[in-house]
Chain A
């Protein structure tokens, strides 16, 4: 059968890796990557088109390349190198609108896969322990990434209504983590001393970067429509995660963590998004039953093993407390002799 897949946002590492891996798939004929700036790494078997999804050029690319599957991955969590918040919103919301407008005009389009995020559920004290796909955020996001994603999801649902012949799959991925991932959360974990919100211990869920690639590939090649939460099995408390990382922590009141975060962002020391403060205070859990039963995807990494894989390249050395306990345990059989 063979299909032509268009991947947006390939200048970013995750999207580039996905485009490369999906290009190797036997059911996929051709992969076209688009972005404003060219990808920096090895693009493998896909072709790159320099096109901005914020203007109608994207429609021409879709028509010219005879694209039948669009994978939308160009939703960014922080302005990063793009510029300010306005640019970020422009990229996320206007980009998606233009892309969907172009997609609606493309007669040959069969499938649309959107990489969304569980950030859309928000994070707060009134949240249920586990969000299922039919739940929305308890409080509508008012700014930032969460608001962008919430609006994008609305546009995607609108597109699904207008083009019922196109299979629309929306994947709400948990925080993606892995050795190559550059995201607000990974740069938080890479800080030499990690600030935490005093008196709170959020539950976290992670998705390994390989699993994200795999689930997107699965969604491209499998005929399933709908919205799915995607996350590794199990949850990890932030305190657990930090202990496994052997990083020193400093508990601060919530506003101080937020202030420190924006300071770090201004200093370009770390990507810290404002909605991350809520996440690091209250945490979030998503239910992945439908991911297994309906989507039929089984992540290779659990939350804990994904985090372990992320921590591996950070060369963790055992902490002092751990060494003391190990020393005591080693001394134990001989202790009664002396």
Chain B
């Protein structure tokens, strides 16, 4: 360190031409007056700096904020002339939090979060965390992760269902307590929020998981595919639908698909074509009841007023939504409008009395499809009549 010549940048507050030389030029010395630094030792440099600030700071506090700074200017203003040795004696409370306070705060927070039984609760939480980190949790063959769904996804959806959309649920008793059943619903709202809400409502009222059937686009999209499988979704194909229904699961299907969810706002509450009736043949094959579900309110969350078909085709998605708020307000436009929702589960349509050959009779499949569609459409009209206003 001693070998290298240190050429400081600037003059460290001393007068001079900015060369950092020990001795300023004579002109500069004249300007600066007598007590200019002579020795290059590091000690004078800090000593030279403090004197100017106190006068500069001292007048400032009384002007601006007298009460909080009152003590500091007096202590700061007094020492400059003699410059006593630095002491640490007369300082009050150190600006740190004692360890004991930290622990008490953590304990209070733990009681706050986990309740009085916080210790076992925290132990359980840590055990849960450990299971997640080490991968020692179980999933079913569709990739459904019941633990994470129950603990986080359903907990996150609950306030949205209850507080934001204020969902009014009717006919929940039509969901069978056990065994396979197929919930068929209308689809709307630009983004499949109605599916999430149906999952949340059914889980909260019956404790059963609704297993949604999703389009292949869902399983092609990064991240979405992971979330979909973890929350219990699988591909909307007959193989998977029948397999799930045989396994006694409660399966949810939205046969309108993208035609329903991406229809313009002007066509709200008009049911689109119900696919090819594949869901009916799945129910007929497995003999499970079909529970029609009518959702009112989802149409208004993102009113779809425009579409960019060219961009949609380019990106390989069915539509690029334009809502009154969406591209306009940026991410804020993604907040769904808080419409009032009504969910009505209709009376189950039994399929077990039809024999297995019925599933291979296209006319019968079409008839049942129409029956389900009409039931949902009529219920939608009834619910719309009952609703006072969109946000009521």
Which residues of A does B touch, CB under 8 Å?
Answer: 125-130, 132, 135, 197-201, 203, 234-237, 239-244, 282, 285, 287, 319, 321-322, 325-326, 328-329, 332-333, 335-336, 338
Contact = CB atoms under 8 A, between A and B. Distances in A.
A119 B242 CA distance: 24
Interface stretch (B21-29, B130-138, B262-270, B354-362): B130-138
A321 B223 CA distance: 23
B130 A239 contact: no
B113 to A, nearest CB: 14
Interface in B87-144: 99-100, 103, 106-107, 119, 122-123, 126-127, 129-130, 133-143
B135 A243 contact: yes
Q: Which residue, of A234, A239, A242, A325, has the highest number of chain B Cβ atoms within 10 A? A: A325
Contacts of B138: 234
B127 A329 contact: yes
Contact of A126 (B106, B126, B221, B235): B235
Contacts of B65: none
Contacts of B202: none
A319 B133 contact: yes
A319 B243 CA distance: 38
Among all A-B residue pairs, the 3 with the closest Cβ atoms: A199-B222, A243-B135, A240-B135
Nearest to A199: B222
B69 to A, nearest CB: 37
Contacts of A128: 235, 237, 239-240, 243
A335 B102 CA distance: 11
Contacts of A287: 243
Given A241-B135, A332-B122, A129 B226 contact: no
Contact of B219 (A132, A236, A282): A282
B119 A332 contact: yes
B237 A321 contact: no
B149 interface: no
Contacts of B122: 332
30 contacts: A125-B225, A125-B235, A126-B216, A126-B219, A126-B235, A127-B235, A128-B237, A128-B240, A129-B234, A129-B240, A132-B239, A197-B222, A199-B223, A200-B226, A201-B143, A201-B226, A203-B229, A235-B139, A235-B140, A240-B135, A241-B135, A282-B219, A322-B130, A325-B126, A329-B130, A332-B122, A332-B123, A335-B103, A338-B100, A338-B103
B328 to A, nearest CB: 28
B97 to A, nearest CB: 14
B82 to A, nearest CB: 45
B220 interface: yes
B99 to A, nearest CB: 8
Contact of A321 (B133, B220, B225): B133
Nearest to A240: B135
Contacts of A326: 130
A129 B135 contact: no
Contacts of B99: 338
A203 B143 contact: yes
Contacts of A321: 133
Contacts of B235: 125-129
Nearest to A338: B103
Contacts of B137: 240
A198 to B, nearest CB: 6
Given A321-B133, A325-B126, A333-B119, A129 B222 contact: no
A335 B104 CA distance: 10
Contact of A285 (B100, B129, B141): B141
Contact of A244 (B100, B136, B223, B229): B136
Interface string B152-193: 000000000000000000000000000000000000000000
Contacts of B239: 128-130, 132, 135
Contacts of A329: 123, 126-127, 130
Contacts of B129: 325
A239 B234 CA distance: 19
A130 B223 CA distance: 21
A328 B126 contact: yes
Contacts of A200: 222, 225-226
Given A125-B219, A234-B141, A241-B135, 15 more contacts: A129-B240, A199-B225, A200-B222, A200-B225, A201-B229, A236-B139, A243-B134, A244-B134, A244-B136, A328-B126, A329-B130, A332-B126, A335-B103, A335-B107, A336-B119
A234 B126 CA distance: 26
Contacts of B142: 129
Nearest to A328: B126
Q: Which residue, of B133, B223, B230, has the highest number of chain A Cβ atoms within 10 A? A: B133
Contacts of B141: 129-130, 203, 234-235, 285
Contacts of B107: 335-336
A23 to B, nearest CB: 36
A243 to B, nearest CB: 3
